[in-house]
Amino acid sequence: MATVTGYTAEKMKQIEDKAITSGEVVSGNLILYPKNYPVETSINAGSVIGPAGPTGPAGSVSTVDLNTAVAVVNDRFKKVPSVMNKLPGSTKQVIAHDTKTPIMFTGADDWDTSAFHTSTDLRKFVVPAGGGGIYQITWNAIFTAPSGAVGGTRYISLSKNSVTAGNEFAQSQMDFVTASMVHLAMGITEHILLIPGDYIAANVYHFTGGTQSVHGTFHMQWMSEAP
């Protein structure tokens, strides 16, 4: 077979376009197919794989560590940290006139995935270790007034790290003048950034001249990591 020399790259490309219809890499070699293939045999143009480069440094995370991290994430998505408590009708809390009062959630939790609510202080819903992030908090209260209760102010709120009705970050208030208003439902939903050890309390206040009995529901759920 004759060896052709002296052609420019442009000229060699013209010859290739006239003679070769296609090609592919097979086992690291460039195989070219002429126009009348398979009458003519294919052309093995040689290896297109260069020499192996140096081995990179070992990873800093072991397979065990990686699998542990993946398991933690998977478990979080299967069981999002949250707590739900209903203050049932049989254990309504009596709220004195003109006294802002944190609710004592004495009933059993509907669920509590991460020990937010313990017997240490039933007014507190505490963020557990490793549970920091953005939370959605919902507090729904139902005022059930004794017969003959008059109108006036009804107020509910959420507090962070206070059981003296301080540090409030969400409030809702309604004011009535009619004496016929006996039952009233109010609700708050708010989002807040919390760290482990922070706690939330739900508060009630009224200005009616007597007492008010209150029951309702509290829900707290982790939404995402801190921004």
Domain-by-domain residue ranges, the chain?
Answer: 9-47, 80-224
Question: Is the pLDDT higher at 131 or at 51?
Answer: 131
What amino acid is encoded at 185 in this protein? A
Sign of CA dihedral 78, 170, 120, 127: positive
Q: Per mean pLDDT, which range of 88-92, 93-97, 221-225 is the poorest?
A: 88-92
Q: Confirm if 60 and 181 have CB atoms less than 8 A apart.
A: no
CA distance 220 to 159: 13
Average pLDDT of the chain to the nearest whole number: 85
What amino acid is encoded at 99 in this protein? T
DSSP letter (8 states) at residue 203: E
Task: Look up the pTM and report it.
Answer: 0.65
Question: Is the pLDDT higher at 90 or at 198?
Answer: 198
Instruction: Say what the pLDDT of residue 8 is.
Output: 74
Q: Is 3 a residue whose pLDDT tops 60? A: no
Residue 215: which residues within 8 A CB-CB, separation 6 or more?
86, 87, 88, 89, 91, 92, 93, 141, 142, 144
Instruction: Say what the pLDDT of residue 54 is.
Output: 85
Whole-angstrom CA distances from 85 to 104, 106, 164, 215, 227 are: 11, 9, 20, 11, 28
Q: Per mean pLDDT, which range of 76-85, 95-104, 131-140 is the poorest?
A: 76-85
Of the candidates 170, 175, 174, 205, the one whose C-alpha atom is nearest the C-alpha of residue 189 is 170
Calculate mean pLDDT across residues 77-93: 85
Whole-angstrom CA distances from 102 to 66, 96, 139, 149 are: 44, 12, 12, 22
Q: Is 132 a residue whose pLDDT tops 90? A: yes
> Which CATH code, of 3.40.50.300, 3.40.50.970, 2.60.120.40, 2.60.120.10, is assigned to 80-224?
2.60.120.40
Question: Is the pLDDT higher at 140 or at 21?
Answer: 140
